[in-house]
Amino acid sequence: MENSLFTANNIWMMICTGLVFIMHLGFSFLEIGLTRQKNTINILFKNMFIICAGLVLYALIGFGLMYPGEFNGVLGFGGLGLNLPGNGLTAEYASGGYTYWTDFLFQGMFAATAATIVSGAVAERVKLESFILFTIIYVGLIYPIAGSWQWGGGFLSEMGFYDFAGSTLVHSVGGWAALIAVYLLGPRIGKFSESGKVGAIPGHNLPLATAGVLILWLGWFGFNGGSVLSADPAATSLVLVTTSLAAAAGGISGFLFAYIRYKKYDLTMFLNGVLGGLVGITAGADQMGITDSLVIGLLAGVIVVLGVALIDKLKLDDPVGAIAVHLICGIFGTLAVGIFGAKAGWEQFVHQLVGVGLIGLFCCVSAFIILFALKKTLGLRVSKEEEVEGLDLHEHGMTAYPDFRLD
């Protein structure tokens, strides 16, 4: 391949890496915006930890676990640390799509995302140390092993499972752990009254939450656009279009459906709808046409509204809606590959179902083991007093807006 095309491809992949990186700002804004002020520092700390530790862990073991080279399809290990292959900086390495370094960094940015999803769901009550340990194990081991089954060339990819950019491999992997964690943690004080009524615990900064969603949408240009693994004009530009249209449609159907149900123009459901559309299109962003993307988005918007209500009904407390967005829409998006677009078909649908099921099983079991062990040892949850007074003061000795005054 010509050097100029290799260079162009690598530029695109580096940009996408930067865009996925900035999704962490988006997640941070979304999470703090939808939670109470007294836990803001804690959430920011967790998010900073996730991105930093995620990258370092991925360099140390994750990349080797996820892309072990030739392996048995279930578990392999390419070796500790980053080992630049001989052709790692040439067009040979990845059909001219990118260098070994770009490969690592792009994948490393993805890795951290899975933990971030959990972070939002467990916010406002999880013990910092326990979450840190969980993150280390989940991002360091579980995420890359699950990833290796498909993207590492493992048995799921052999079978014919398709997950373009990670509706299952990233979003559901995070979402399942979020589900288990939320279940083991229990709801925040005040979320469900004794009589079983669902309470609302409004967040403290909806402008930042909205900014977070717009930043995430932009980041998704890299998340999905980079998953083409080259700058191929036809594929990348299609992916950006399907991604954006699904997001737009998700937002619209989300707010309209919420309006029908609740008779108010609920901004938070608009935002969740956009995210639902984005997660929903992710598995098949390169396989869908215009109409498919719009339909997937419209459905995802409705699903997310129903999903949030369902989680509430199950007495699970997910402060930012991570389970509805990432898990439920992630499953929907993965199955959608068998229903809409170029790959639609019964057989594909079954493959998708199997993939969803196996990844779900693996994630649930491992998340349960890790979190249950933590619960029985360190404890998962802060004391009642700490929860009521806020994690910021207790764990960090700091509040989020110490000098804020009214004019």
263-322 positions binding a copy of itself, by CB under 8 A: 264-268, 270-271, 274, 290-291, 294
Between CA 352 and CA 344 the distance in angstroms is 11
Asked if 369 touches a copy of itself (CB under 8 A), the answer is no
Which helix (H) or strand (E) segment is 148 a member of?
Answer: helix 143-150
- Token pair, residue 285, equals 């962003």
Residues 106-125 that bind a copy of itself (CB under 8 A): 108
> Cβ atoms within 10 A of the Cβ of 357, count?
11
Between CA 237 and CA 125 the distance in angstroms is 42
Residues 214-243 that bind a copy of itself (CB under 8 A): 214-215, 217-218, 221, 225, 231-234, 236-238, 240-241
Asked if 205 touches another protein (CB under 8 A), the answer is no
Please pick, from the candidates 121, 258, 278, 300, the single residue that binds another protein as defined by CB under 8 A. 258
In terms of CB distance, is 263 or 376 closer to another protein? 263
Question: Which range binds another protein by CB under 8 A, 21-29, 229-237, 329-337, 390-398?
Answer: 390-398
Please pick, from the candidates 52, 261, 357, 369, the single residue that binds another protein as defined by CB under 8 A. 261
**Spatial contact of 160 and 348, defined as CB atoms under 8 Å apart:** yes
Q: Can you list the alpha helix ranges (DSSP code H) found in 263-381?
A: 267-282, 290-313, 322, 329-339, 346-376
Between CA 84 and CA 377 the distance in angstroms is 40
Question: Which range binds a copy of itself by CB under 8 A, 55-63, 151-159, 177-185, 320-328?
Answer: 55-63
Asked if 379 touches another protein (CB under 8 A), the answer is no
Residue 157 interacting partner from a copy of itself, another protein, none (CB closer than 5 to 8 Å by kind): none
Asked if 207 touches another protein (CB under 8 A), the answer is no
Residues 377-396 that bind a copy of itself (CB under 8 A): 395-396
Interface size with another protein, residues (CB under 8 A):
32
Asked if 52 touches a copy of itself (CB under 8 A), the answer is yes
Between CA 81 and CA 302 the distance in angstroms is 43
Interface size with a copy of itself, residues (CB under 8 A):
110
Question: Which range binds a copy of itself by CB under 8 A, 114-122, 145-153, 250-258, 356-364?
Answer: 250-258
Residue 312 interacting partner from a copy of itself, another protein, none (CB closer than 5 to 8 Å by kind): another protein
In terms of CB distance, is 163 or 286 closer to a copy of itself? 286
Asked if 402 touches another protein (CB under 8 A), the answer is yes
Q: Cβ of residue 152: shortest distance to a copy of itself, in angstroms? A: 20
Q: Cβ of residue 190: shortest distance to a copy of itself, in angstroms? A: 12
- Token pair, residue 218, equals 């932009």
**Spatial contact of 31 and 121, defined as CB atoms under 8 Å apart:** no
Tokens 């992630």 label which residue?
330
Cα-only R_g, the chain? 20
Rounded to 10 degrees, the C-alpha dihedral 146/342/226/353 comes to: -20
In terms of CB distance, is 376 or 405 closer to another protein? 405
Between CA 135 and CA 318 the distance in angstroms is 18
Between CA 155 and CA 75 the distance in angstroms is 10
**Spatial contact of 241 and 286, defined as CB atoms under 8 Å apart:** no
Instruction: Give the per-residue contact string, 171-210, with a copy of itself (x = CB under 8 A; - = no).
Output: ------------------------------xxxxxxxx-x
| Distance in angstroms between the alpha carbons of the first and the last residue of the chain | 62
Tokens 């996925």 label which residue?
20
Please pick, from the candidates 163, 266, 292, 317, the single residue that binds another protein as defined by CB under 8 A. 266
Asked if 234 touches another protein (CB under 8 A), the answer is no
* Longest CA pairwise span in the chain (Å): 69
CA 146 from centre of chain: 14
Instruction: Indicate the residue type of 134.
Output: F
Q: Cβ of residue 89: shortest distance to a copy of itself, in angstroms? A: 4
The binding site for another protein (CB under 8 A) comprises 34, 190, 198-202, 258, 261-264, 266, 268-269, 272, 305, 308-309, 312, 321, 385, 388-389, 393, 396-398, 402, 405-407
